[in-house]
Chains A and B, each alone.
Chain A
Amino acid sequence: MAATKIQKLPPEARQLIFAGFQEGKIGRVVYAELLDLFGQEVEFSQRTVERELENLKRRWKQRERRREWMADLVAASEKGNIEASQMVKALAMQGLESDPEGFIESDPIKVQALALEGEKIRLKRAKLEQDNQRLALDREKFESMKTKLATIRKQAEAAKEAVNKAGESISPELKRQLLDVYDLTEAEA
């Protein structure tokens, strides 16, 4: 009857127990948290919470095992095993029959539409992120080109000055080479 008492707790309290289980908390800690939050409403002992945590652990493991089995079955069906795909279908029908409320609450068409909508949003978000990355890259390239241009300009200025200062002291051949390096005309020098 202990489980019934736990089930009678408000959903928040049951969520707290479940969160405790997920975080691997021990019964004493979860019980203390329950007392803190729900005080008078907690009409059972620490041992009950410990038992509930053990139950959750056991059920969770069984669930995991069944999920693994189902995953293998689906994998076999995807590889073309017709019998496996018929089994998957039969199990799906069985699930629908054994948990009709669950299926009504989560109308498959709505769930599918929701999943598609979610996928659309995810794709949009991914595209936006890509655009932002591309923009950042373009900006970086632009900055780098600006810096390069400034450097070239500076070098050109320096070369111009050097050529002017040197005047007749450098040979016309060297002057032509210098002008070529910095892509300057005689007039610009």
Chain B
Amino acid sequence: MTMTDFEQDRHRRERGAIVRALKQVYSEPMTGVQSLRSVLRILGFALSPKALQFHLTLLAERGYIQIWRADQMPGYKDEPDSEGAWTPPDEIVFAHLLSSGLELLDREKVDLKVTV
């Protein structure tokens, strides 16, 4: 197994962990991304914010999860404050597992990009 293979495998497992973590809160209409990150840390996946955003985008594009970005929140302002702090409009802030994501966990579907 090359380094790239090893990395790819790790990413697939991280995505699987995200799906699994979101299943725990499936009854909730949405979950905060920071909550998700702390659950993943407990599960042993210490993802950087950037890596988590990447995985969430990929999972959403493949139709397993629904995501909400910062600019979808009422009251969002697309401008830095006087101190330069700013939440980018495309930052994913909430996520929710969709039924096709559940199918992955139930092995009714296989995706080589996600190891559950």
A-side residues, CB < 8 A to B, are 58, 61-62, 65, 68-73, 75-76, 81, 83-84, 86-87, 89-91, 93-94, 97-98
Q: Tell me which of B25-33, B45-53, B99-107 binds A.
A: B25-33
Known: A61-B81, A62-B85, A87-B30. 12 other contacts (CB 8 A): A58-B83, A69-B77, A73-B73, A75-B74, A84-B73, A84-B74, A87-B68, A90-B29, A90-B35, A93-B31, A94-B32, A98-B34
Report the count of interface residues on B (CB-CB < 8 A): 21
B76 contacts the other chain (CB 8 A): yes
Main secondary structure of the interface of A (DSSP, over half): helix
B73 → chain A, closest Cβ, in Å? 6
B-side residues, CB < 8 A to A, are 28-32, 34-35, 38, 68, 72-77, 81-83, 85, 93-94
A90 contacts B75, C-beta separation under 8 Å: no
Provide the residues of chain B in CB contact with A89, threshold 8 Å: 28-29
A61, A69, A97: the one contacting B73 at CB < 8 Å is: A69
Cα A91 to Cα B28 in complex, Å, equals: 12
